[in-house]
Amino acid sequence: MMTLKVNGHDHQIDADPDTPLLYVLREDIKLNAAKFGCGLGQCGACTVIVDGKAVLSCVTPLLLLEGKRVTTLEGLGTIDAPAPIQRAFMEEQAAQCGYCIAGMMMRAQALLQKNPKPTDAQIRAELEPHLCRCGTHMRILRAVHRAARLMDTAELSPSSHGSTP
Amino acid sequence: MTKPRIIACIVAALLIGGVVTAFAVVWRPAIAAIEPPAPQSFDTALVKQGRDLAAIGNCNDCHTVRGGKAFAGGLPVPTPFGTIYSSNITPDPETGIGRWSEDAFRRAMRSGVDRAGSHLYPTFPYDHFTNVTDEDDRALYAFLMTRPAVHVPARANDLSFPLNQRFVVAGWKLLFLRLGTYQADISQNAEWNRGAYLVEGLAHCGACHTPRNALGAERASASFSGGDVDNWHAYAINARSPSPVPWDTEALFSYLRQGWHSDHGVARGPMAEVVSNLSSVQESDVHAIAAFMTSVFGLPPDRLRQASDIRTRIKSPPPPSPTNTPGASIYAAACATCHDTDRPLPYGGVHLGLSTAVSAPDPRNAANIILSGIGPVEGERSPIMPGFASSMTDQQISALLNYLRARFSNQPAWTGVEKTVADARISQTVFLQTSQGPHNAPADPMQRDKP
DSSP-assigned letters across all residues of A87-136: HHHHHTT--SS-TTHHHHHHHHHHHHHH-SS--HHHHHHHTTT---SS--
B324/A20 CB distance under 8 A? no
User: What are the strands, taking DSSP E only, across B235-339?
Assistant: 260-261, 265-266
Q: What is the pTM of this model?
A: 0.89
A159 Cα to chain B: minimum distance (Å): 32
B386/A128 CB distance under 8 A? no
- Confidence band, pLDDT 50/70/90 cuts, at residue B401: very high
Contact residues, chain B, for A128 at CB < 8 Å: 375-376
Q: A2-75, which class in CATH?
A: alpha beta
- Confidence band, pLDDT 50/70/90 cuts, at residue B216: very high
What distance in Å separates the CA atoms of residue B138 and residue B102, rounded to the nearest whole number?
7
Which ipTM score applies to this complex?
Answer: 0.88
B330 Cα to chain A: minimum distance (Å): 6
A61/B334 CB distance under 8 A? yes
Contact residues, chain A, for B391 at CB < 8 Å: 50, 53, 55-56, 59-60, 64
pLDDT at B290 over 50: yes
Question: Quick check: B434 and B75 in contact, CB under 8 A?
Answer: yes
Tens digit of pLDDT for each residue in A39-98?
999 999 999 999 999 999 999 999 999 999 999 999 999 999 999 999 999 999 999 999
Contact residues, chain B, for A55 at CB < 8 Å: 390-391
- Write down the pLDDT at residue A117: 96
3-class DSSP state of B291: helix
Q: Measure CA of the first residue to CA of the last residue in chain B; give whole Å.
A: 95
Q: Which of B391, B392, B396 to mutate to test the interface with A (most CBs of A within 10 A)?
A: B391
Please report, for chain A, the start and end positions of each structural domain, with discontinuous segments joined by +. 2-75, 84-156
Contact residues, chain B, for A63 at CB < 8 Å: 326, 329-330
B424 Cα to chain A: minimum distance (Å): 19
Judged by a CB distance cut-off of 8 A, whether residue A47 touches chain B is no
A81 Cα to chain B: minimum distance (Å): 29
Query: Mean pLDDT over residues B22-46, rounded?
Result: 93
Question: Quick check: B365 and B233 in contact, CB under 8 A?
Answer: yes
Contact residues, chain A, for B329 at CB < 8 Å: 16-18, 61, 63
B390/A54 CB distance under 8 A? yes
pLDDT at B321 over 70: no
Residues with Cβ within 8 Å of B284's Cβ and at least 6 positions away in sequence, in order, are B191, B194
CATH hierarchy code of domain A84-156: 1.10.150.120
Indicate the residue type of B254.
Answer: S
Judged by a CB distance cut-off of 8 A, whether residue A34 touches chain B is no
Contact residues, chain B, for A69 at CB < 8 Å: none
Judged by a CB distance cut-off of 8 A, whether residue A63 touches chain B is yes
Contact residues, chain A, for B390 at CB < 8 Å: 50, 53-55
What is the sign, positive or negative, of the torsion defined by CA atoms of B415, B419, B421, B427? negative
pLDDT at B10 over 90: no
Judged by a CB distance cut-off of 8 A, whether residue B334 touches chain A is yes
